[in-house]
Amino acid sequence: MRPNIVLIQADQLTAMVLSMYGGKTVKTPHMDDIAENGVTFLNSYCNNPVCGPSRASMMSGQLSSAVGCYDNAGELLSSIPTFAHYLRYIGYRTCLSGKMHFVGADQLHGFEERLTTDIYPSDFGWTADWSQQEEPWAPSRMSLRSIVEAGVCKRSLQIDYDEEVCFQAVQKIYDYARLPEKQPFMLMASFTHPHNPFVTTQEFWDLYDHDKIELPGVPHIPIADRDPWSQRYAYTIREDEHNVTEQDLRNARHAYYGMVSYFDSLIGRILKALDDGGFTENTYVFVVADHGEMLGERGTWFKFLPYEWSARVPMIVTGPGIKAGYVEEKGVSLVDLLPTMTELATDGKGIELADRIDGRSLVQMMHGDNSGRPDDVMMEFTGEGVYAPALIIRRDGIKYVHCRTDPPMMFDLKKDPQELHNVAEDPAYADTASDLQREVDNRWDYDRLERDILQSQKRRLFVQQALLKGKWTGWDHQPFVDATRAYVRGAIDPNTTATKALRRLPFVAEVPPHNPRQGKPAIDLRPKR
């Protein structure tokens, strides 16, 4: 039996707060257990620190520039193969529960089933517009309102959504367990927690002592003293509109920690369902995030930036044959998931890919062997806050950031993990900076990429305005539930008792009658007249 694959994804979960990445406060017993029994990729990154492009990269195994998905309104073309296509092709059931930021008519991208709608718009309304250089506001109207209003809630939109995502994912696992044919499955559960606004229920708020919520390691940097990218980003998210007090900051961090613990509890529900269904021993479970969260470090919030809190994400995995408790320090990224999954699904044989990909399989590293693997990661950012492509290489502990309109940035992460000292112009790093710039020039056709992005923005902005005229027709996924086949319907399945028995988990074989009926009843049952 081929192994099953479960991919659990958070939205906006920075690796920096988790215990397996050095965090001291956040309580995540289920993720801790996965790390203890599996592999932690210590230097794991998204390939673009914003939702849509990151997810497009992850699914395709290619950088977002290669698939033309530049910002949160970027369309992943139906013709681009994803890990769901490949796994489905070789015989896997493929199912998605949760959010993916798919924009356009294709809301499946290789998934055979999608159990929920999305939580965010699937249209061109969030297209970045580099022509608006004097007013660089995010089209989603992001602001620090969600920081100054952070705290406790009874219920939230995020909880509404993630409860549905988890319920549907768990139900699907039980459905798979009760199927007579044991076809392998790939299930993705993609949650919106711990994305802002930062609000959590009393249950998860009370896990933490408010007075012991730590403040950022890098305190507030005035906007005027930040690098040009961070300056523009501050205005992109309207940072200047709110004054974040120390109490606001502590409230937001406290709520975020609660949201992370809530996400961890959802992981626990999925793990329990896998165990109940008898799948644990033959299932690989990956836990990742699409990007991180600045969480007040440097005085800024959310994502969109090249810094570690924004770009570094968790990647932990457990499953059969994995080296338990292993911590891999070489750099990896989300594009590596596609070749990893296809190798696991084919017992190491792999599959002929229809496209050139940027990712490399992690299977060898999952068994504790990183020999022959370079320590490098490629990242991009092509959305709000920059006005030309930002291209990023992290190699051997050095992070290099190139954007045509800005001075280069380079950080020695081993000596300067908080990224306070830009050494791009430091004579001691001149050779390294020159080598990395040369690699940027070789890997990307900068002029062409910039032209493609500008043309894409122009087209999408026009199309969105045109579609807003007259009757609006959305691209949103509409989950269909066939009530005629939901439970028991006499027209197609009259044996109610047998149907209920078949849906029991674990299955119990039919107990034969103690007194098998032979012919007519022993007494006369005809009505008396």
Neighbouring-strand partners of residue 286 = 7, 317
Among 358, 398, 386, CA closest to 63 = 358
Q: What percent of the chain has pLDDT over 90?
A: 86
Residue ranges of domains in the chain: 4-370
- Residue 345 Cα distances to 83, 92, 340, 364, 431, angstroms: 11, 9, 9, 14, 42
Q: Which helix (H) or strand (E) is 452 found in, with range? A: helix 446-467
Q: What is the pLDDT of residue 121?
A: 82
Among 302, 305, 332, CA closest to 317 = 332
Asked about 101 being catalytic, the answer comes back as yes
Tokens for 462? 């026009």
Model pTM score: 0.95
Q: What is the pLDDT of residue 501?
A: 81
Tokens for 259? 């949201």
Q: What is the pLDDT of residue 505?
A: 86
- Residues 234-285 have pLDDT tens digits of 999 999 999 999 999 999 999 999 999 999 999 999 999 999 999 999 999 9
Per DSSP, the residues of 184-207 read -EEEEEE--TTPSS-EE-HHHHTT
Architecture of domain 4-370: 3-Layer(aba) Sandwich (3.40)
Q: SS3 string of 149-177?
A: CCEECCCCHHHHHHHHHHHHHHHHHHHHH
- Residues 458-483 have pLDDT tens digits of 999 999 999 999 999 999 999 988 88
Q: Which helix (H) or strand (E) is 364 found in, with range? A: helix 363-366
Neighbouring-strand partners of residue 231 = none
Confidence category of residue 25, pLDDT binned at 50, 70, 90: very high
- Residue 198 Cα distances to 143, 192, 251, 412, angstroms: 13, 12, 9, 32
Question: Are 53 and 64 a contacting pair, CB within 8 Å?
Answer: yes
Catalytic hit among 30, 46, 95, 101? 101
Per DSSP, the residues of 105-122 read S-S-TT-SEE-S--SS--
Q: What is the pLDDT of residue 409?
A: 98
Dihedral sign, CA of 112, 116, 119, 123?
Answer: positive
Q: What is the pLDDT of residue 498?
A: 81
**Mean of pLDDT over the chain:** 95
Q: Which residues contact 355 (CB under 8 A, 6 or more apart)?
A: 60, 61, 62, 80, 81
- Check whether 316 has a pLDDT greater than 80: yes
Catalytic hit among 46, 51, 69, 403? 51
Asked about 51 being catalytic, the answer comes back as yes
Tokens for 500? 């209920």
Question: Where would I find the H helices in 185-336?
Answer: 202-205, 228-236, 246-276, 308-311
Strand 39-41 vs strand 315-318: parallel, antiparallel, or unpaired?
Answer: antiparallel
Q: What is the pLDDT of residue 134?
A: 82
Q: What is the pLDDT of residue 180?
A: 86
Q: Say how far apart CA 86 and CA 84 lie, in whole Å.
A: 6
* Burial category of 482 from C-beta neighbours within 10 Å (exposed 0-12, middle 13-18, buried 19 and up): exposed
- Residues 175-203 have pLDDT tens digits of 999 998 889 999 999 999 999 999 999 99
Averaged pLDDT for residues 287-303: 97
Phi, then psi, of 434 in degrees rounded to 5:
-65, -45
Question: Are 289 and 46 a contacting pair, CB within 8 Å?
Answer: yes
